[in-house]
């Protein structure tokens, strides 16, 4: 018996159902592992979800919202 399931590439998951592992989150935020866990400890960064006994991942929408909340732009020189 063969099931006609869509291929993984054909399934479009909604953004709120997407989870990213630590290496992906580190690339998205340009943070090191130490910086990431420090930000989590100080409640400045979203907490990961436990997906398995040894598997943590962050909800993509939460990481993107955190990135959007960060200040933008180039630092300007103080007025003289």
pLDDT (tens digit, 9 = 90+) per residue, 42-54? Answer: 988 999 999 999 9
Q: Is residue 50 part of a domain?
A: yes
Residues of the domain holding 32: 15-66
* Total domains in the fold of the chain: 1
Whether the pTM exceeds 0.85: the reply is no
Round the average pLDDT of the chain to a whole number and report it.
85
The whole-number pLDDT of residue 16 equals 81
Q: Is residue 36 part of a domain?
A: yes
In the predicted structure, residue 59 carries a pLDDT above the cut 90: yes
C-alpha angle 47/30/76, rounded to 5°?
Answer: 110
Q: Is residue 58 part of a domain?
A: yes
In the predicted structure, residue 29 carries a pLDDT above the cut 80: yes
Tokens found for residue 54: 């040894």
């Amino acid at each position: 018996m063969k099931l006609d399931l869509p291929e993984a590439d054909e399934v479009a998951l909604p953004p709120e159902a997407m989870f990213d592992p630590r290496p992906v989150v580190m690339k998205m935020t340009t943070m090191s592992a130490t910086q990431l866990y420090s930000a989590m400890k100080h409640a400045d960064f979203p907490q990961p979800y436990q997906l398995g006994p040894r598997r943590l991942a962050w909800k993509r929408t939460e990481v993107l919202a955190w990135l959007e909340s960060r200040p933008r732009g180039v630092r300007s020189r103080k007025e003289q």
